[in-house]
Amino acid sequence: MAERYSSFTPGGTGWLLQRVTAAFLIVTLAFHFFLLHFVNHAYEVTFAGTTMRMENVGYMVTMILFLWAAAFHGVNGVYNALVNQGLSGTPKRIVLGILIVAGLALVAQGTYVALVMGGVLQ
């Protein structure tokens, strides 16, 4: 029988955060799709409408948390998938650094855009 291998330590912080962000993403993605694809159809979504939605603090915070959770979940998932495929040593550290920088850049830019669209920053 084949051995099961995972770079996640069962019960570890990375393992737990991957599952918590997955659960959060399922809920917020359902909310996002419902609001922007069923309540408002794609052709009705406009820049002005997005700005209006982002001015609601609850909506803006939810979308920022959605962005952060998605970035963490994606970066953590890609990194662990590569480790599971045998990535190790210096290439592992380089890939980790690139993924962290890319994830932080994505979160910083997305948060900035959300805050500007919400009227918090100018």
pLDDT tens profile 6-41: 666 777 888 899 999 999 999 999 998 898 888 877
CATH code for position 52: 1.20.1300
6 in a domain, yes or no?
no
User: Does residue 89 lie in a domain region?
Assistant: yes
**Listed residue (98, 66, 60) closest to 82, CA to CA:** 98
pLDDT recorded at residue 2: 55
Q: Higher-confidence residue: 87 or 43?
A: 87
Which residue's structure tokens are 């210096």?
Answer: 90
Domain encompassing residue 60: 13-117
pLDDT, averaged across the chain: 91
Altogether, the residues listed in the chain come to a count of: 122
Q: Which of 9-13, 80-84, 96-100 has the highest mean pLDDT?
A: 96-100
DSSP 6-37: -SS-TTSHHHHHHHHHHHHHHHHHHHHHIIII
What domain count does the chain have?
1
Q: What is the pLDDT of residue 79?
A: 95
Inside any domain, residue 98: yes
pLDDT at residue 105 tops 80: yes
For 111, the 3-state DSSP assignment is: helix
In a domain, 1, yes or no: no
User: pLDDT band at 43, cuts 50/70/90?
Assistant: confident
- pLDDT at position 93 is 97
List the single range of 23-27, 31-35, 56-60, 75-79 with lowest mean pLDDT: 31-35
What's this model's pTM, rounded to 2 decimal places? 0.86
Interatomic CA distance for residues 108 and 115, integer angstroms: 11
